[in-house]
Every structure is written in C-alpha cells, then in structure tokens.
Structure 1
C-alpha cells in the first residue's frame, strides 16, 4: 500500500509539474503571439510611412524636374536677350558711324565747296 501511495503521489506530482509546464508554455505562446501582433502592427505602420515618404519623394522629384525645365528655358531666354543686346549695340554703333559720315560729308560740302 505504501508503494501505491508513493506511485500515486509521484503521478500527481508529475501531473502537477506537467500542468505547470503546460501553463508556462501557454503563457509563453500568448506572449509570443502578442509580440508577433505588435511586430505586425509596427511593420504595417512602417510600410505605410515608407509609402508616404515614397510619394513625397516622387512629388519632389517632379518639382525638381519642372524647376530644371524652367531653368533651361530661362537660360535660353537669357542667351537670346544677350544676343539681342549685342545686335542692338552693333546697330547703334553702325548708326552713329553713319551719322558721323553724314556730318563729315555735310561739313565737306558746306565748308570746302564754298
């Protein structure tokens, strides 16, 4: 009878230990599940934020391309204006030379012919 009590007590103790291990395992699984859910939530937030940043970068890239096109256009306009200023100066110099020649001819005709 003593052996049966020891056997039964040993079985109860093993059952109790097994139950404790099972409870700890269940708690560990619950914590792991909670961590997995939190990690998944953080992952979704990161992916969402990265998507927003990507959109912002694409908009910025588009604006930079537009600014680059406008700078190229402005550069061409400035070149054209510079060329026009040069031609206007050249024409002005030619007009002044022609006026000087006309004045010289008039002076020659008025003073030397009399």
Structure 2
C-alpha cells in the first residue's frame, strides 16, 4: 500500500460539513495525530532506529499497517518518525511523481509541530 500526497474534494453543499476525503492521510500514534511532512528519502538520518511496526489501528486506514517505523533513539519526546513505505519518487526538491513507485523513508510529524 502507499500513502497519497493529494487530497480529494467533496461535492458537499454544506460548507461546515467535514468529509473524510478532504483530510490528508493521518497516522494515530500514542493517541496523537501525525501527517506526512516531507519528501521521501532513501537513507535514515543518524540516531534513528526501528521502534516497531505500525498496527492496523495506528495506520488509520492508510494501508501502512505492518510497515516499520523509526524514531530518534536519543529523544524522549515522540514528535516525528519515519515510516519505510511505498511512495512516489521525488522529481525535484518540491515534487513527487506518484506514478514512479519506490520504497523509501517518509517523515511523519505530530500535527502542529514543524521542525527542519
């Protein structure tokens, strides 16, 4: 399975109605929401190690259950991690070609947390 970096739009006439297709893919880890944050990379940064596999509940309908995830072994907080997953191939610094599939590490960041 793969994660899609696009969003579907609803034809709902009620502007206050929330439709799940309007939301980006979300993983639920440790009762917090995480979104795919950056371009896929082929190698993990230093100090990241495998912390386990994503469960069906954590995958939250993304199809990523069973994929391994990696976090910084020296940080006590859990604000970002990488998932080794099938994804599109970067074609430049800001774009991914979703028709060219590859396995790579995708960074997931806790909702509301941004870090370079």
- Shorter-chain TM band: under 0.3
Question: Taking structure 2 as the reference length, what is the TM-score of the superposition?
Answer: 0.14
Which of the pair is proportionally richer in helix?
A: 1
Which of the pair is proportionally richer in strand?
A: 2
Between the two structures, name the one with larger relative contact order (CA 8 Å, sep ≥ 6): 2
Q: Larger Cα Rg: Structure 1 or Structure 2? A: 1
